[in-house]
Structure 1
Amino acid sequence: MKKSELIELLKNNKDDEDIDEVLKNAEPVKALANSGLTLDAFKTKLESDADFKSFMDSEKDKHSAKSLETWKTNNLQKEIDAEIKKRYPEQDPKDKALADLKAKMEKMEAESLKKDLTNKALKTMTEKKLPTDLVNFIVGADKDSTNKNLEALEKVFNAHDEAIKTEILKDGTYKPGGQGGTEPTEEAVKGQINSLFGIKE
């Protein structure tokens, strides 16, 4: 039997399929059997002859590789598409439209909240005479975080004002009691601070 005949004979067999029946019923094998080579002799040769076994294994590998390539060509893309569809099911157009509408509403609500928080923060900062140009740093994600930021800013500026007042009193430029020796009023202190920094009320 020629190699090509044997390959042709085994080409439709699966890897785990027993080839005994195929070989037993094949015409070339029958002819081979009549020539004196029996199936048992073939099996014995397969088990005892390393070169023959190696040849048969390589033929089986070629056949398996070809079968795998054929399967990939015919089935792999379908399997991939099915898995993608299973993992990421197509969304109903109504569901998609609803999700888009929900996202837009959430965005509008967030923008509206930020606008309200900004306006309230500006009002509070103006009332407390805090610099309003810092409003973008003060506005948080919600009312509580914005209020905490306002409190922190107010503490910083109050501490800064106290430090300036202390510094003014230290360097001796401020004389308590004025002309008549009385305690200075709050307006007088503010007036001196404003004049020191060139602030006009």
Structure 2
Amino acid sequence: MNLEEVKHFLNDNKENADVKAYLEELSAVSADKVKGFLETDEGQKLIRPKLDQHFTKSLETWKANNLDELVNAKVKELYPEETEEQKRIRKLEQELEKQQKEAKREKLMNTAISYASEKGLPTDIVAYFLGDDEETTKSNLSTLEEKYHAAVQQAVENKFKENGRTVEPGGGGSGQGGNLDIGSLAAEASIRK
């Protein structure tokens, strides 16, 4: 009997109970058949997404349950807790550093105020121009001096222009060329009133 005859016989007798039982036995899934299928490329394509999904879920569960503990243990290993003595030392060091910064700032402020006084600058705004060191502070105050004196000069010139006088650079005040006497100043003052 050849294969075609067997197929024809099975097809003709598919309603027979013995043939049904035999066909079910042939088509039944066994562990060996499944294992053989899963080792093929087609089987790998079928099972790989399921395995990845299961692994991802397992990893997330593990992270939720164990990762924080492991991280905390490693942090404690790398950075052990301070003893009371170490805490006191750290606090003292911080206080000392703070006092040094305050002393440095106070010294810098005193230097800046005396520098501003020498240059005729307002001393109440000196704190805004303090730098990290004396050199930077003096540079900041020099810039302030330039801008401040330029603004004062501009304000004086504008005031004189409002009153009808022109200001000559380095001039003596009334435009007379230098020699002023009290009489000419009094005459000028009476004209303005």
The TM-score normalised by the length of structure 1 is 0.49
Distance in 2 separating the partners of 1:139 and 1:147: 8
Distance in 1 separating the partners of 2:156 and 2:144: 18
8 Å Cα contact 2:115-2:138 kept in structure 1 = no
Q: Which has the larger radius of gyration?
A: 2
Q: Does 1:139 align with 2:130?
A: yes
- Any idea what the Cα deviations from partners look like across 1:56-91, whole Å, max 9, x if unmatched? xx9xx98xx89x969986x65653332232343323
> What residue number does 1:97 align with?
88
Distance in 2 separating the partners of 1:134 and 1:95: 42
The TM-score normalised by the length of structure 2 is 0.50
Q: Does 1:84 align with 2:83?
A: no
RMSD: 4.3
Relative to structure 1, is the Cα distance of residues 184 and 142 closer, same or farther in structure 2, using a 3 angstrom cutoff? farther
Deviation at 1:151, TM superposition (A): 0.7
Q: Does 1:47 align with 2:36?
A: yes
Distance in 1 separating the partners of 2:101 and 2:35: 77
Q: 2:174 aligns to what SS in structure 1?
A: coil
> What residue number does 1:14 align with?
none
Deviation at 1:131, TM superposition (A): 1.4
Deviation at 1:162, TM superposition (A): 3.2
Distance in 1 separating the partners of 2:77 and 2:64: 20
Deviation at 1:107, TM superposition (A): 0.9
- Any idea what the Cα deviations from partners look like across 1:107-141, whole Å, max 9, x if unmatched? 11111111122222222222322112211212222
Q: 1:91 aligns to what SS in structure 2?
A: coil
Q: Paired residues, what number?
A: 137
> What residue number does 2:152 align with?
161
Could you say which structure has the greater relative contact order, defined with CA pairs below 8 angstroms and 6 or more residues apart? 1
Distance in 1 separating the partners of 2:123 and 2:36: 93
Deviation at 1:165, TM superposition (A): 4.7
Q: Mind listing any 5+ residue stretches in structure 1 that lack a counterpart?
A: 1-40, 186-201
Deviation at 1:159, TM superposition (A): 1.8
Residue identity opposite 1:153 in structure 2: L
8 Å Cα contact 2:129-2:137 kept in structure 1 = yes
Relative to structure 1, is the Cα distance of residues 138 and 184 closer, same or farther in structure 2, using a 3 angstrom cutoff? farther
- Any idea what the Cα deviations from partners look like across 1:11-58, whole Å, max 9, x if unmatched? xxxxxxxxxxxxxxxxxxxxxxxxxxxxxx742454359xxxx9xxx9
Relative to structure 1, is the Cα distance of residues 156 and 84 closer, same or farther in structure 2, using a 3 angstrom cutoff? same
